[in-house]
């Protein structure tokens, strides 16, 4: 007999999630992929200020449940707090202060369940002069210094990032790490806690090497400041004959020497970090790479310890042999949209879904079983549903 599949790391934990998009939704996806039962809490009111993501986004609802609760109604708040009694984590991304005004903030939740971990994600944190500012990914990257260090666009300004880095890493992963640490603390103390996740401060964490350098020695980093930001030719992006691109990250002298030998540019081995020669080195590298197609260069250079990789487009990723070998693509069956592919859980130790995972429709409701598990009688559930307080 084969070995049974390992128990998911967060199996047995329940997360009540108010988010629909953005950093908190990224966090909820991570927690679900590690085995948490994530219950998405939405609003039953038509026209509520709530973005419903595309059916394929955020894992297509894979492994999550849904309930809609009118938090402005007393009975709705009571229903939410009944659910809190059985929850391990509450995850919200309202403007600072809104959850408290609704009567569903940390103080309300912890009175019902002192063990609950309440994670508030916001752009700038719950306190401070920027705490009430509206914002999105680009704003957090801007205030956190990331955008200033980015390459420059045609007009000389910072280039737009190619992915929502603040939402995903500075926000979603930040919140998930904080929640995991809080779960470990609770295992020792028996008490829950409040987590104030600031996406902008998560960006500072991503920028720590440069911020700490400035604080220590007074430097003023910008594009081209050091090896990682474009100062030297050994770390950059180069065009190939077929109008595609190669990423070269030959920082170490041994890797740089390997690259120069393959390209017939041995004369530059000793000048890797010679500022006076960088323009000439770049020109020679660019000329060499333009003589062959991208994939031909990758086939020769990547196995030769040169720190060279192809710049793949999003449409090329599913065909990448490395990702195919690692099984990062999963199939999903959606009740309205049929079968399609999506990324499988790719973070280390996350639980891979069955061969065909089941997506959840935005119209799905798990209200009845959730309320029943929270101790509501059948007549009470019927009254809540009939009044539209819960859906």
Q: Give the Cα separation of 110 and 130 in Å (integer).
A: 27
Catalytic residues: 136, 167
Start-end of H helices in the chain: 22-33, 74-84, 98-102, 106-112, 137-143, 146-149, 165, 174-189, 199-206, 208-217, 253-263, 278-289, 294-301, 321-326, 367-373, 378-387
For CA atoms 281, 282, 288, 294, give the dihedral sign: positive
- Using an 8 Å Cβ cutoff, are 117 and 192 in contact? yes
What angle, 0 to 180 degrees and rounded to 10, lies between the N-to-C axes of helices 253-263 and 278-289? 50
Q: Which residue has the tokens 């991304």?
A: 93
Angle between helices 294-301 and 253-263 in degrees, nearest 10: 120
CA pair distance 25, 40, nearest whole angstrom: 9
CA distance 105 to 130: 20
DSSP 3-state of 116: coil
CA distances from 323 to 211, 295, 303, 318 (A): 34, 16, 17, 7
What are the helix and strand counts (H, E) for the chain?
A: 16, 12
- CB of 35 within 8 A of CB of 3? no
């Amino acid at each position: 007999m084969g070995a049974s599949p390992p128990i998911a790391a967060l199996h047995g934990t329940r997360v009540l999630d108010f988010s629909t998009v953005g950093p908190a939704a990224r966090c909820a996806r991570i927690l679900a992929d590690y085995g948490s039962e994530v219950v998405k809490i939405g609003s039953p009111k038509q026209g509520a200020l709530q973005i419903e993501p595309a059916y394929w986004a955020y894992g297509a609802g894979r492994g999550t449940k849904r309930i809609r609760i009118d938090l402005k109604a007393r009975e709705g708040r009571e229903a939410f707090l009944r659910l809190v009694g059985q929850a391990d984590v509450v995850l919200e991304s309202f403007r600072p202060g809104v959850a408290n005004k609704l009567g569903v903030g940390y103080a309300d939740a912890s009175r019902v369940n002192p063990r609950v971990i309440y994670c508030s994600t916001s752009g700038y944190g719950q306190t401070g002069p920027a705490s009430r500012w509206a914002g999105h990914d680009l704003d957090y990257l801007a205030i956190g210094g990331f955008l200033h260090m980015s390459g420059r666009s045609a007009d000389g300004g910072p280039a737009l990032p190619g992915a929502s880095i603040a939402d995903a890493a500075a926000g979603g992963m930040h919140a998930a790490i904080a929640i995991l640490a809080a779960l470990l603390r609770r295992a020792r103390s028996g008490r829950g806690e409040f987590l104030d996740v600031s996406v902008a401060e998560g960006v500072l964490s991503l920028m720590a090497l440069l911020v700490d350098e400035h604080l220590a020695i007074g430097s003023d980093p910008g594009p081209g400041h050091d090896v990682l930001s474009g100062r030297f030719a050994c770390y950059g992006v180069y065009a190939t004959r077929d109008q595609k691109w190669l990423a070269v990250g030959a920082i170490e002298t041994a890797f740089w020497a390997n690259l120069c030998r393959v390209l017939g540019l041995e004369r530059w081995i000793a000048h890797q970090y010679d500022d006076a020669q960088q323009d000439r080195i770049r020109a020679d590298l660019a000329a060499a790479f333009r003589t062959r197609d991208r994939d031909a260069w990758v086939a020769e250079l990547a196995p030769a310890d040169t720190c060279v990789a192809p710049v793949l487009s999003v449409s090329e990723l599913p065909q990448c042999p490395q990702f195919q070998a690692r099984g990062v693509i999963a199939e999903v069956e959606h009740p309205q949209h049929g079968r399609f592919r999506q990324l499988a859980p790719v973070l280390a130790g996350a639980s891979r879904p069955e061969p065909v995972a089941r997506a959840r429709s935005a119209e799905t409701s798990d209200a009845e079983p959730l309320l029943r598990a929270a101790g509501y009688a059948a007549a009470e559930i019927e009254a809540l549903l009939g009044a539209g307080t819960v859906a």
